[in-house]
Chain A
Amino acid sequence: MSGANDVTSQAGQTSQTSQQSHGRTLSLTLRIWRQDGPDAPGRFHTFDAPNISEDMSFLELLDIINERLIEGGDVPIEFDHDCREGICGMCSLMINGRAHGHELATTTCQLHMRKFSDGDVITVEPFRAKAFPVVRDLVVDRSSFDRIIEAGGYISVNTGAVGDANQTPVPKEAADTSMDAAACIGCGACVAACPNSAAQLFTSAKLAHLNLIPQGQPQRWERTEAMVETMEQFFGSCTNHGECTEACPKEISLDFIAFMNRDYVKAKIKNRKLTGQS
């Protein structure tokens, strides 16, 4: 989208141009997927959206379309959203075929209309993956992610059964990389962007978060096996396209997939009854 870049660069130049850029409006056409339920057939509906302020977020555009639908006595479009500040992982959408739209490192709720051009036709679909069945319209069911976490995405320490936090130092580099992985918001864009609908990026992010730090070592190998194998019950296989990391609003690195694959092989060859094999 060339128009998008123009606006960004303008905003950065001087205060005058950025002040002037406010108040621009766009006239857009939206093709939005509508589907009554998981088994119902779906189809695209076309909506005109005139006078859309460029300062709106993409979800506020959908709010407006819904207001108009309600005014006209129609049923509004269902879509998932909540925090609208890019952290809860609830919003989704394929916008012009891209998970969370074309803007890098951005969730749909943080995508603003100034990134679009007047006259654009925008296609909006739910996240597409067999493991994410459509619930209604643009809402999908991502609970298969919870099943992966339940398989081992935790450290088994019961409340109260722990010593002082500083008794276990964590090398800063390990803590920082663990945090890089833990930044995953569980939105599922990685799956939606993947030609195989694989969930390697999501699963490896949680595994790296826990397997990189000392607290995660006791369950490292069983966690890896259980989470990977649960993942494979729901999702396709990774063939290293790298679309996942491109779509990831938190820019989770592909390195974690390599880390997971190594840990999975190790988990398979380790005899966990012997001690000292970390």
Chain B
Amino acid sequence: MAESHSGPNGASNGVLDSRVPDGPMADKWTDHKFSMKLVNPNNKRRFEIIVVGTGLAGASAAASLSELGYRVKVFTFHDSPRRAHSIAAQGGINAAKNYTNDGDSVHRLFYDTVKGGDYRSREANVHRLAEVSLNIIDQCAAQGVPFAREYGGLLDNRSFGGAQVSRTFYARGQTGQQLLLGAYQALAKQVAAGSVELYTRTEMLDLVTKDGRACGIITRDLISGEIAAHTGHAVVLATGGYGNVYYLSTNAMACNVTAAWRAHRRGAYFANACYTQIHPTCIPASDEFQSKLTLMSESLRNDGRIWVPEQLDDARSPDLIPESERDYYLERKYPAFGNLVPRDVASRNAKTVVDQGKGVGPLRNGVYLDFSEVIERDGHPAVAAKYGNLFDMYERITGENPYAVPMRIYPAIHYTMGGLWVDYHLMTTVPGCYSIGEANFSDHGANRLGASALMQGLADGYFVLPYTIGDDLAARLGEPVVPLSDPVFAQATSEVTDATQRFLSIGGTRSVDWFHRELGKIVWDYIGMERTAAGLEKALSEIPALEAEFWADLRVSGSGANLNSSLEKAGRVADFFELAKLMARDALVREESCGGHFRAEHQTPEGEAQRDDENFAHVAAWEWHSSDTTQTRHIEELEFEEVALTQRSYK
């Protein structure tokens, strides 16, 4: 779809209308809930809503919408909704409950999130997120989520990711798992009641639009290979982030950008693609066949000391390197925060020392995280009580005992803040198509705070979309869905069928994984932790070259008429190629450093990120035209009414 359209959130002429309501920040959401149109309870059943994805955002949205009375179809490419990658989140979920009486408030959570996002998020969205954080904890506790408790039976909180207050709720190291199971069970309740139709092992491969409005999706049944069309009054994309463009990431293997990207190709603007988050404490890769990276909880930095040998390429075992020949580089450079500097600062510094040749481990690709001092001070049992399960996990993966040998860590891609542009209603620039959770760009700005991903996914699904979707649907009462007999469905179905066939017919020599690995190396090297104009230009020449090779030399064996995971991956990697080019362009144009986007040309004399609020306090949302032309960059100016823009400093 090359031509631009104008919907209710009219995105034509490069003007993006965020539909942020007027009024004082603290009243916007309350007032807006009153001013939005409602669908009468008896009329809700006349609307069909398609939800794609069953992670925290998708499962919570599908359950909540069907409880309201809408007819819901929900799609997951997994065998069960419970497998979605939200399940792997370890740390916790933030909420401004102030149960600890330490001065937290909705305003403080709002303020911290805007600041933590390095002033690149939309204030009104963030304020709403902080407001509904309260409801999320209530809802999840009532669902039976086994949050950690105090001896009096009340909920326990901890401080997380450098926050000055204890506002993080958690369920051991498996908070994501327990919240997802809560949402999955709420969804299962609705499936059992017959008000949600669940499609498992079914992947969305296209968004269907008619007259500029979303009217359905095209899917592939991953078991039978059948390509099918589904129609609805609205389509909700809850399809997660795109961290797997780097090949090695902490994402699950199947995480991909395909659903969001196909919507982008049908007119949904893609925003802030260059905002990606690196997690500083992951286990380094051990060989070239490494398939994913495992995150070690950031809490380890509370007690571990990070160091590298002073000498280049020092092959000695760590216990043979005397104190005087070690560089505790974070403690040296940031005496106030030491090893607890924010994620991006810790990550960049690790890259710097490894690039200098001071990396440790067999591949020289890590830094030490050393617990010998705390073990000596507090004793082995105390450390085991605090970190025992993490130490066990580390030993299981590396075969090294971290009580005796320092851990080796290195940063890895963990989360993507960019995604489909959405307005205050969470609607994309394609009317009728919504995006929630990590798939959208909205709440985290250029950097997400710890324990805020779970909060945003559930906020969108339980407490925002169920309100905002009604405003749009109310105006369409009596409108039937576009029938599957409409030519738009036949057209889209045949395009998807052809695209699937094309992968099978290339008949080259290399596997999808090979191309994915090679693409990942380029993206990591040039659009990773540190970007430069020269590097980004290089990425923009290397990616298309590799992409051309992909289309000429890919080999997908097997057929399209049964389970064929190479074929599934081929489609996803094809989209990663296009996304990677957009990330490079987005990063190149954004001539500043902010949050997870660090341009080496833009740093303070101390080496910190240097924002340019004058020229870049805006969202960049890209409009697709065709495969042969580059996207057009549109701007949504960010206005800061409540939070004053300041430079972060951790000295």
Footprint of B on A, CB under 8 Å?
7-8, 11-16, 18-19, 21-23, 36-37, 53-57, 59-60, 63-64, 66-67, 69-71, 73-76, 78, 80-90, 106, 110, 112, 114, 135-136, 139, 141-143, 145-146, 149-151, 153-166, 168-172, 175-176, 178-179, 182-183, 185-186, 209-210, 213, 215-216
CA distance A15 to B188 in the complex (A): 49
**Nearest-neighbor residue (CB-CB) of A76 within chain B:** B566
CA distance A216 to B148 in the complex (A): 17
Q: Are A149 and B143 in contact (CB under 8 A)?
A: no
9 further interface pairs, Cβ-Cβ under 8 Å (given A15-B319, A82-B78): A12-B404, A16-B317, A55-B399, A63-B289, A63-B291, A76-B565, A86-B393, A175-B148, A185-B177
A143 CB contact (under 8 Å) in B79, B139, B151, B181: B79
The interface residues of chain A lying within 8 Å CB-to-CB of B148 are: 175
B174 CB contact (under 8 Å) in A21, A71, A78, A183: A183
Q: Are A160 and B150 in contact (CB under 8 A)?
A: no
Q: Are A179 and B142 in contact (CB under 8 A)?
A: no
The interface residues of chain B lying within 8 Å CB-to-CB of A21 are: 399
Contact A143 to B80, CB < 8 A, known contacts A159-B67, A163-B138:
yes
Rounded to whole Å, the gap between the CB of A32 and the closest CB of chain B is 15
Of the candidate stretches B342-350, B486-494, B507-515, the one touching chain A is B507-515
CA distance A89 to B184 in the complex (A): 14
Q: Are A53 and B289 in contact (CB under 8 A)?
A: yes
* B122-143 at interface with A (beta carbon < 8 Å): 135, 137-143
Rounded to whole Å, the gap between the CB of B517 and the closest CB of chain A is 10
Q: Are A88 and B135 in contact (CB under 8 A)?
A: no
CA distance A23 to B398 in the complex (A): 12
Footprint of A on B, CB under 8 Å?
60, 63-64, 67, 78-83, 85, 87-88, 97, 99, 135, 137-144, 146-155, 171-172, 174, 177-178, 181, 184-186, 188-189, 191-192, 200, 223, 250, 252-254, 286-287, 289-292, 294-295, 317-319, 362, 393, 395-401, 404-405, 462-463, 466, 509, 511, 513-514, 555, 557-558, 562-566
Q: Are B142 and A162 in contact (CB under 8 A)?
A: yes
Rounded to whole Å, the gap between the CB of B404 and the closest CB of chain A is 6
A7 CB contact (under 8 Å) in B252, B289, B291, B399: B399
The interface residues of chain A lying within 8 Å CB-to-CB of B78 are: 82, 90
Rounded to whole Å, the gap between the CB of B598 and the closest CB of chain A is 27
Q: Are B82 and A11 in contact (CB under 8 A)?
A: no
Q: Are B144 and A165 in contact (CB under 8 A)?
A: no
The interface residues of chain A lying within 8 Å CB-to-CB of B185 are: 149, 153-155
The interface residues of chain A lying within 8 Å CB-to-CB of B87 are: 83, 87-88
Rounded to whole Å, the gap between the CB of B410 and the closest CB of chain A is 15
**Nearest-neighbor residue (CB-CB) of B60 within chain A:** A159
Q: Are A112 and B253 in contact (CB under 8 A)?
A: no
**Nearest-neighbor residue (CB-CB) of A57 within chain B:** B291
Q: Are B463 and A159 in contact (CB under 8 A)?
A: yes
B144 CB contact (under 8 Å) in A70, A81, A141, A155: A155
CA distance A153 to B186 in the complex (A): 9
Q: Are B143 and A155 in contact (CB under 8 A)?
A: yes
Q: Are A88 and B252 in contact (CB under 8 A)?
A: yes
Rounded to whole Å, the gap between the CB of A168 and the closest CB of chain B is 7
Q: Are B141 and A87 in contact (CB under 8 A)?
A: no
CA distance A142 to B405 in the complex (A): 41
Contact A136 to B562, CB < 8 A, known contacts A155-B144, A169-B152, A215-B142:
yes
A53 CB contact (under 8 Å) in B150, B254, B286, B395: B286
The interface residues of chain A lying within 8 Å CB-to-CB of B97 are: 165
Question: Can you report 8 residue pairs joining A to B where beta carbons are below 8 Å apart?
Answer: A13-B404, A22-B286, A75-B558, A81-B253, A142-B80, A159-B64, A159-B462, A182-B178
The interface residues of chain A lying within 8 Å CB-to-CB of B140 are: 165
Rounded to whole Å, the gap between the CB of A185 and the closest CB of chain B is 8
Contact A60 to B290, CB < 8 A, known contacts A11-B399, A182-B181:
yes
Q: Are A159 and B63 in contact (CB under 8 A)?
A: yes
CA distance A81 to B64 in the complex (A): 29
The interface residues of chain B lying within 8 Å CB-to-CB of A171 are: 149, 153
Q: Are A90 and B514 in contact (CB under 8 A)?
A: no
Q: Are B143 and A67 in contact (CB under 8 A)?
A: no
CA distance A82 to B85 in the complex (A): 8
Rounded to whole Å, the gap between the CB of A146 and the closest CB of chain B is 5
**Nearest-neighbor residue (CB-CB) of B406 within chain A:** A15
Q: Are A84 and B80 in contact (CB under 8 A)?
A: no
The interface residues of chain B lying within 8 Å CB-to-CB of A166 are: 99, 154-155
Q: Are B396 and A112 in contact (CB under 8 A)?
A: yes
**Nearest-neighbor residue (CB-CB) of B173 within chain A:** A87
Rounded to whole Å, the gap between the CB of A8 and the closest CB of chain B is 8
Contact A84 to B291, CB < 8 A, known contacts A67-B513, A89-B82, A172-B151:
yes
Q: Are A145 and B362 in contact (CB under 8 A)?
A: no
A213 CB contact (under 8 Å) in B60, B144, B289: B144
CA distance A160 to B138 in the complex (A): 9
Contact A216 to B144, CB < 8 A, known contacts A63-B289, A135-B563:
yes
Q: Are A110 and B141 in contact (CB under 8 A)?
A: no
Rounded to whole Å, the gap between the CB of A20 and the closest CB of chain B is 9
The interface residues of chain B lying within 8 Å CB-to-CB of A172 are: 149-151, 153
Q: Are B144 and A215 in contact (CB under 8 A)?
A: yes
The interface residues of chain A lying within 8 Å CB-to-CB of B137 are: 165
CA distance A167 to B172 in the complex (A): 22
CA distance A146 to B192 in the complex (A): 10
Q: Are B317 and A146 in contact (CB under 8 A)?
A: no
User: Which of A12, A142, A161 has the largest count of B CB atoms less than 10 A from its CB?
Assistant: A12
The interface residues of chain A lying within 8 Å CB-to-CB of B147 are: 165, 175
Q: Are B511 and A67 in contact (CB under 8 A)?
A: yes
The interface residues of chain B lying within 8 Å CB-to-CB of A175 are: 146-149, 153
CA distance A7 to B87 in the complex (A): 31
CA distance A84 to B152 in the complex (A): 37
The interface residues of chain A lying within 8 Å CB-to-CB of B399 are: 7-8, 11, 18, 21-22, 54-55, 112, 114
Contact A18 to B563, CB < 8 A, known contacts A146-B188, A150-B188, A168-B141:
no
